[in-house]
Amino acid sequence: MKGSADQSEVSATEENKETDMSVWAAHVLTLYPDMFPGPLGQSLAGRGLEEGAWNLQVTNIRDYSVGKHHTVDDSPFGGGAGMVMRPDVLGNAIDAAKAASGGDKRLMYFSPRGRIMDQALMRELTAGPGVILVCGRFEGIDQRVLEARDVEEVSLGDFILSGGEIAALAMLDAVVRLLPGVTGNQASLSEESFETGLLEYPHYTRPAIWEDRAVPEVLLSGHHKKIKEWRQRSSEELTKQRRADLWERWSDENLK
Ligand SMILES: C[S@@+](CC[C@H](N)C(=O)[O-])C[C@H]1O[C@@H](n2cnc3c(N)ncnc32)[C@H](O)[C@@H]1O
């Protein structure tokens, strides 16, 4: 199939070059394949990738371009500024990715119109087999491909990026750190902001006094129950002050 020879599987060892269907896998469709793994090749995600805790495949959408000029976009029907990615090009790229990835992965397109990504979505994705991610460019992609391939739209936030790649990197970073074998201390993840529905309490380390600022005394007491209570109270106060939306949801579920 056209393009399949150029798909690159990003993985450090020869042994796991074969796609292991049991491992959580991301397949990214992009016009800028060199942006991957990018920062995901570093630190915990990078080590996880090297050790086969997750798998990343990247396809250059241009491999599915049409005509002698290798076109992937065209001007919008109805006029207006910018270009739109063609449905035939993307449809073929998506179909090939589905066939290569086992057909059971969630198919998502990064778009400012989508559901804003949150920790609950990252947990949902971690529980599944993986994702196929479409990174848009230009003014976006032809609406028909979203409908015909039943693509979910997800957003990084209420601002406009130049392309979906940075949103894809952010999603993958957030998901991969939750996978077993990637972050050493899985217990520490369950206390993080959003996991409990609240923002996390403040952290302190040595020195106990810095620029005349002391660490809250209870944290030096060694009294585990009191420390736990102080952290819970701090989380609640911070959430109430900063995130009325989260506070309303959490207090509805926990204080009534
Ligand atoms: C310049 S943007 C297009 C913006 C589009 N014309 C609009 O007004 O909604 C190009 C691509 O960047 C990606 N993108 C931009 N902002 C994003 C966001 N907040 N979250 C996720 N992807 C985004 C999308 O894939 C989009 O197709």
Q: Compute, in angstroms, the gap from residue 252 CA to the centroid of ligand 1.
A: 34
Q: Compute, in angstroms, the gap from residue 229 CA to the centroid of ligand 1.
A: 43
The predicted pLDDT at position 124 comes to: 97
Residue 128 phi, psi dihedral angles, 5° rounding:
-95, -175
pLDDT tens digit string along 58-77?
Answer: 999 999 999 999 999 999 99
Q: Compute, in angstroms, the gap from residue 1 CA to the centroid of ligand 1.
A: 29
The predicted pLDDT at position 120 comes to: 95
Ligand 1 mutation pick, 110, 152, 159, max ligand atoms within 8 A of CB: 110
Q: Compute, in angstroms, the gap from residue 247 CA to the centroid of ligand 1.
A: 29
User: pLDDT band at 22, cuts 50/70/90?
Assistant: confident
Closest C-alpha to ligand 1, atom 5: 139
Q: Which CATH class is domain 191-254?
A: mainly alpha
pLDDT tens digit string along 87-106?
Answer: 999 999 999 999 998 889 99
Closest C-alpha to ligand 1, atom 6: 139
- pLDDT surpassing 70 at residue 256: yes
Q: Is the CB of 160 under 6 A from ligand 1?
A: yes
- pTM score, whole prediction: 0.92
Q: Domain coordinates of the chain in residue numbers?
A: 4-176, 191-254
The predicted pLDDT at position 11 comes to: 47
User: pLDDT band at 10, cuts 50/70/90?
Assistant: low
Domain 4-176 adopts which CATH fold?
Alpha/beta knot (3.40.1280)
The predicted pLDDT at position 82 comes to: 97
